[in-house]
Structure 1
């Protein structure tokens, strides 16, 4: 183990979990530009302008034999077993762990990339909302710039409309958080399918009840066909918007396909039951970058719930603590629905819905507990 050089690309949930565990016994180089964890499952809070604690990568890796190189991988030389970086350096490896995750997919929708904010630009959305509210307060001398003040004073003025595109978990959390944190804005959620349509009947109904209670306009069966500076064009008609946040879906980082790893049509690496690339067995691929199928469970969805266990498992593989195939079963899905509400949906091991849910304070506390446990479990 001490003779081999392990290189891990990416400091998301999967990459960090693998690095922290492999670094207990081996020589590991982690390549990622971030000094703090991205904490994607709290991006909705960042978007709404709420304070979010993001632990330092160095703290997660404290006491481990991991060298953190703050750079981006630009090319993979799979034949020469080298990684080329954007700072001009080259890093050699014996074993490569590819954990570059996923990014917002625009699906080729005209104008989307030019006029919409992806979830990766959450801080920019928060600043734009604050700037608009500051400008509005300056135009009304004597007002207090505090969320909800204008409504309590009887004002009907609104800074504008935010359209959140995507009816999945990310879109729902964004819409709820924005509506609660910025009640003077009109918030709409737009999807080509159903908002929260995969949940049980109780879960689905609760999501809709909370969103409507927060004043969120729900536009279902409204696939976005174009985005421009004044809003959205959808299959169900025009939806005006001053600000568009894109949370429709994610796609894997393209470096794996470009380098020559075997990938699916969607761009995810094809791996075996030990998470090794089927075309390059010296390369492990984990997290959103891989299409992982587990017997009895099925093909895993992208997300922290599946990425973190893969990183934990691979850390054991790299340190010789297991040679068993990767196994995984689902237990629950959870959502934040603003600061006072949440949903904890119990599910079967194959990701199908159970009828039981926790809502209200119980659902919110369950989600909060999971958020805390994610950071702790990285080590």
Structure 2
């Protein structure tokens, strides 16, 4: 069964890359063939896009270089259709790909469709290109003492706002959020976060939702108009419609519905990982993050390696461990958590938190490098009692 078995991995983000590299190591003597498909030849460190937006230069990591020595074939092109019955993928600019097993790792992107004008007048952090365009606009605003609005008070919005304010003190930064930033943290970590926002001179507008993005302003649901020389949109995410269009079972957001082994409930030869999968634990559905995504990739690579050898697999188990949050280059706060993502008592702040956050942000590339030669684990917590039984 293993000889000639073809595994196609769609998407070379954090989870797709790890799935391919780890699977190559786990199946190196079985004859399994692995192909990784991605529109760009560049590996994007999504965890660092706010740094590019603030004007920093980051290393250019090429997918072919990261795959060197693994035996994985890289196909550069965008997947435009999946035929799950024929097990065939249409790739723009390349020949169709037949697969025996598919790993669906297309991830997510910022949703600019939930407010008119956001798609035309706002910038995003989806990739280095848009982040770089924002950085150029930010330089113009900095010289003129302009105002930047960051729409969305989640982790991405907070990291972007603090990075911008620290790197460009001449810019007026406004963070707009329907909820209190840091609401998922404990009281002390949240208080530290708000002191950092105040120290950096960030104007905080909470309990507000942006309903329209204009060329030089944003409009709130209560009718207020706020000046905005540059708008950075971080509010909400969307996933590729590829799975739903192919008739693969998805939820109402387009995430692939998975069983306890992260296989599609409608097409078990398809494994879904990271942001593209609807994965439930007893404590709830996992939210898209590198913290949960890499363990799904590790588990899926191990699962496929066992299945092609005819071995049984155990259900996926995962528990959260921390909420790392950078506050510019010189400050950070780390809220450690219980398995269900509720805050624990331990936290880190200041220099130790900066070191910890940088370790977290840089760990995926190290993981890929070492996974070529050994089984590197990214699963810090399996969730304890909360995940001993698969979610209903």
Aligned counterparts of 2:98 and 2:291: Cα–Cα separation in 1:
31
Query: How many angstroms does 1:65 deviate by?
Result: 1.9
Change in Cα spacing, 1:322 to 1:117, as seen in structure 2 (3 Å) is farther
Q: Among residues 78, 88, 103, which one is paired with 1:72 in the alignment?
A: 78
Q: Could you say which residue in structure 1 is the equivalent of 2:379?
A: none
Q: 2:241 aligns with which of 251, 254, 258?
A: 254
CA contact (8 A) 2:141 2:147 kept: no
In the TM superposition, residue 312 of structure 1 has moved relative to its aligned partner by 1.1
TM-score of the aligned structures, taking structure 2 as reference length: 0.87
Matches within 5 A, 1:239-278: 239-278=226-265
- What is the alpha-carbon distance in structure 1 between the residues aligned to residue 360 and residue 118 of structure 2? 33
Q: State how far apart, in whole Å, the 2-side matches of 1:124 and 1:2 are.
A: 47
Cα distance in 2 for residues equivalent to 1:328 and 1:270: 17
Supply the distance in 2 between the matched residues of 1:240 and 1:4 (Cα, whole angstroms): 57
The residue that corresponds to 1:15 in the other structure is: 16
- SS of 1:87's equivalent in the other structure is coil
What are the residue-to-residue correspondences of 1:98-113 with 2, within 5 Å?
98-113=104-119
- What is the distance in 1 between the residues matched to 2:254 and 2:68? 34
Give the superposed CA RMSD: 1.5
Residue 129 of structure 1 aligns with which residue? 138
Question: 2-side partners of 1:272 and 1:60: how far apart?
Answer: 31
SS in 1 for 2:61: coil
Deviation at 1:289, TM superposition (A): 0.4
For the 8 Å contact 1:193–1:223, the answer to whether it is kept is no
1:35 and 2:25 are equivalent in the alignment: no
Distance 2:88 2:305 in 1: 22
Q: Deviations over 1:56-107 (max 9, x none)?
A: 2223222212000010100111111110011152111111111000011124
Aligned with 1:49: secondary structure? coil
State the secondary structure of the residue aligned to 1:319: helix
- Note if contact 1:316-1:322 (Cα within 8 Å) is conserved in structure 2: no
Q: Is the 8 A contact 1:6 1:93 kept in 2?
A: yes
Matched, 1:172 2:158: yes
The question of whether the paired residues in 2 share the 8 Å contact of 1:201 and 1:355 is answered with: no
| Aligned-pair CA distance for 1:55 | 2.7
1:196 equivalent in alignment to 2:154: no
| Map of 1:370 onto structure 2 | 360
Which of 29, 51, 59 in structure 2 is aligned with 1:53?
A: 59
Consecutive unaligned residues in structure 1, runs of 5 or more: 137-157
Q: Is the 8 A contact 1:103 1:250 kept in 2?
A: yes
| Deviation digits for residues 240-279 of structure 1 (CA, Å, limit 9, x no counterpart) | 1110000012112111111111111121110011110001
Matched, 1:288 2:275: yes
Structure 1 consecutive aligned stretches of length 4 or more whose deviation exceeds 3 Å? none
Structure-1 separation of matches of 2:114 and 2:284: 29
* Rounded Cα–Cα distance in structure 2 between residues aligned with 1:12 and 1:100: 8
| Equivalenced residues, count | 355
Structure 1 position 197, deviation (Å): 1.4
Could you tell me how far 1:131 is from its partner in structure 2?
A: 4.4
